[in-house]
Amino acid sequence: MTNAAQTRALIFTGGRLGDWAPPLIRPGDFLIGADRGALFLIERGFAPHLAVGDFDSIRPDQLAAVREAALECKTFDAADKDWTDTELALREAIARGCRNVVIVGGLGTRFDHSLANVHLLRLAADASVSAALADEHNEIRLLSGPNVCRVEADPRYPNISLLPLTPEASGITLNGFVYPLRNATLRIGMSLGISNRLADPEGTIALGEGQLLVIRSRD
């Protein structure tokens, strides 16, 4: 089995998935299917290293197929579990030593689930795990201060927005952006950080204190 501690983990959720998702898989990735996400993987010829969830969104015959194809399957009772299937999958990834996690398809039609999945980035950050949410139109990461991150131009995601996850995020300095900032503070409820773009092939985001969502997107 792939050593999860030494590879990137991809968590395929039961949210909105499509043909855009399988190309995200790289050789050596540790594949986790959360509920219907496990079925999505096996229907496209990928055997999850781990399938996890209550599997209440798939039929018994589909669950049997997941059990047969997955290298490991952990099931939970829907009435007794406290966490969503995606959080169960993330906690499994963290417990197995994964240091880099991408949650695939965690942004969909259910805003409550989408927002909860964004908040899972904080759970990962608290465990010193690099994590991102990715779907057809968005990539979301969490920057915790003090820190500096480099952002390379990517035609898939031309828009870059910054939103605080803490009540405020301060000491924000942007270099290489169309709209630079110098030692700025963003507070929850402000839209100042929405829809920026890179002016150079690479830019930097410096954060002094707080936590900042870095959202790359396209229409």
How many domains does the chain fold into? 2
Closest of 25, 79, 33, 26 to residue 52, by C-alpha: 33
pLDDT of residue 110: 85
Do 72 and 155 have their domain in common?
A: no
What average pLDDT does the chain have? Answer: 93
Other CB atoms within a 10 A radius of the CB of residue 51 amount to: 29
- What pTM was estimated for this model as a whole? 0.92
Do 99 and 173 have their domain in common?
A: no
User: Residue range 26-50: average pLDDT?
Assistant: 96
pLDDT of residue 6: 60
Do 153 and 106 have their domain in common?
A: no
Domain residues for the domain of 90 are 4-136
Last residue of a domain, one of 136, 159, 188: 136
The pLDDT confidence band at residue 76, using thresholds 50, 70 and 90, is confident
Among 75-79, 87-91, 100-104, the range scoring the smallest mean pLDDT is 75-79
Residue 218 in contact with residue 157, Cβ under 8 Å?
Answer: yes
User: Residue range 46-51: average pLDDT?
Assistant: 97
Do 131 and 146 have their domain in common?
A: no
Structure tokens at 174: 């942007």
Q: Residue 69 pLDDT > 90, yes or no?
A: yes
Tokens 């906690």 belong to 91
The string of DSSP letters for 71-126 reads: S-EEE--TTT--S-HHHHHHHHHHHTT-SEEEEES--SS-HHHHHHHHHHHHHHHH
Q: What is the CATH number of the domain that holds 156?
A: 3.40.50.10240
The pLDDT confidence band at residue 167, using thresholds 50, 70 and 90, is very high
Residues of the chain with pLDDT > 90: what percent?
Answer: 86
Do 172 and 202 have their domain in common?
A: yes
User: Residue range 104-127: average pLDDT?
Assistant: 93
1 or 213: which leads in pLDDT: 213
pLDDT of residue 4: 53
Do 113 and 161 have their domain in common?
A: no
Q: Coil, strand, or helix at residue 175?
A: strand
Last residue of a domain, one of 136, 161, 192: 136
The pLDDT confidence band at residue 104, using thresholds 50, 70 and 90, is very high
Do 211 and 108 have their domain in common?
A: no
Structure tokens at 124: 């990962």
Q: Residue 2 pLDDT > 60, yes or no?
A: no
Do 62 and 126 have their domain in common?
A: yes
Among 109-113, 167-171, 202-206, the range scoring the smallest mean pLDDT is 109-113
The pLDDT confidence band at residue 15, using thresholds 50, 70 and 90, is confident
Structure tokens at 209: 């204190």
